[in-house]
Amino acid sequence: MRSGSNLEKVLAHGDFAVTGELGPPQSNDREVVVKKAKAYKGYVDAVNITDNQTAIVRMSSIAACAIAAGLGLDPVMQMTCRDRNRIAMQSDILGASALGIKNILCLTGDHQSFGNHPTSKNVYDIDSIQLIGMVKGMRDDKRFLNGEEMKSEPRMFIGAAANPFADPFEYRVVRLAKKVAAGADFIQTQAVFDVPRFRRWMEMVWDHGLHERVYILAGVIPVKSAGAMRYMKNDVPGMSVPDELVRRMEQASDPKEEGIRICVETILQLREIEGVSGIHLMPIMWESIAPVIVERAGLLPRPVYDQDDM
């Protein structure tokens, strides 16, 4: 075991993993985190806590992770390269580890122009691939990025993101291969609406044998309304949404129910694809729907392991 996190155990056991995404509040209100975390409890194997998602200031991922861990959930600390340099990142990784956080998701981060502080100065000292390598070096070589040895190493299960829908399409698998070479243990993808394109991407993944070297969790988003579906299609960079799904949402008498149905159908299709080790649920501002989706997708009960299992 690299980290001994619950997520790592599930994947190493060969179970189909379920992770969920939790956005911390734009305040210091811990109850918001508690409430969202409780909605996930028993329904997911790990919960990703976003890091100032879309460049909007929120409670830090590290703090919200600690709250979730306290409630018995397995947190995945997201870390973007946008806001910190390599000194701050390594410091936060040590701190997170000391707080019992065992998973990290290494991200480039949305550009600050999307958020509520567009005039801020971005950092981008290292990129997400270099971040993966840095965490791996800390864990496996017990060394800081500068090569200095550390006394005890942070045991982290290292995640990275992949977007099968961004361009240049041909380069996407090369970039995934770079992430794997840098040390990624698991991958969470951008939300899949366009299953055929995702499958084509997976074929490229097979060709490179990457599904045998890294666990791939496919992202899914339950959408509440036709407007939200159209927004995903037209305004979210790096997203592919087939017209057919927009039409289904527009024609539905109960759009919420239709959104759940589309999400569950997508999960069932993704499950059939070789090399997909699990799903990552991103119910943006709709965390309470997670149990319904996980249940209807036939993913209950979630496996439970003893403290010292494996």
Residues engaged in binding another protein (CB under 8 A): 81-82, 86, 108-111, 113, 122, 124-130, 133-134, 145, 161-163, 165-168, 170-171, 174-175, 177-178, 181-182, 190, 237-238
Which amino acid is residue 7, in one-letter code?
Answer: L
Cα atoms found within 13 Å of the Cα of residue 276, Cβ hemisphere only: 25
267 closest CA partner among 283, 282, 255, 278: 278
CB of 43 to another protein, least distance (A): 26
Left (φ > 0), alpha (ψ -120 to 50) or beta: where does 297 sit?
A: alpha
The residue behind tokens 């870390």 is 79
By C-beta, is 35 or 200 nearer to another protein? 200
By C-beta, is 89 or 297 nearer to another protein? 89
CB of 265 to another protein, least distance (A): 24
By C-beta, is 104 or 161 nearer to another protein? 161
By C-beta, is 3 or 163 nearer to another protein? 163
Please tell me what DSSP assigns to residue 263.
H
CB of 160 to another protein, least distance (A): 11
By C-beta, is 110 or 250 nearer to another protein? 110
Render 39-100 in DSSP notation, one character per residue. Answer: HHTTT-SEEEE-SSGGG---S-HHHHHHHHHHTT--EEEEEESSS--HHHHHHHHHHHHHTT
CB of 301 to another protein, least distance (A): 33
CB of 280 to another protein, least distance (A): 14
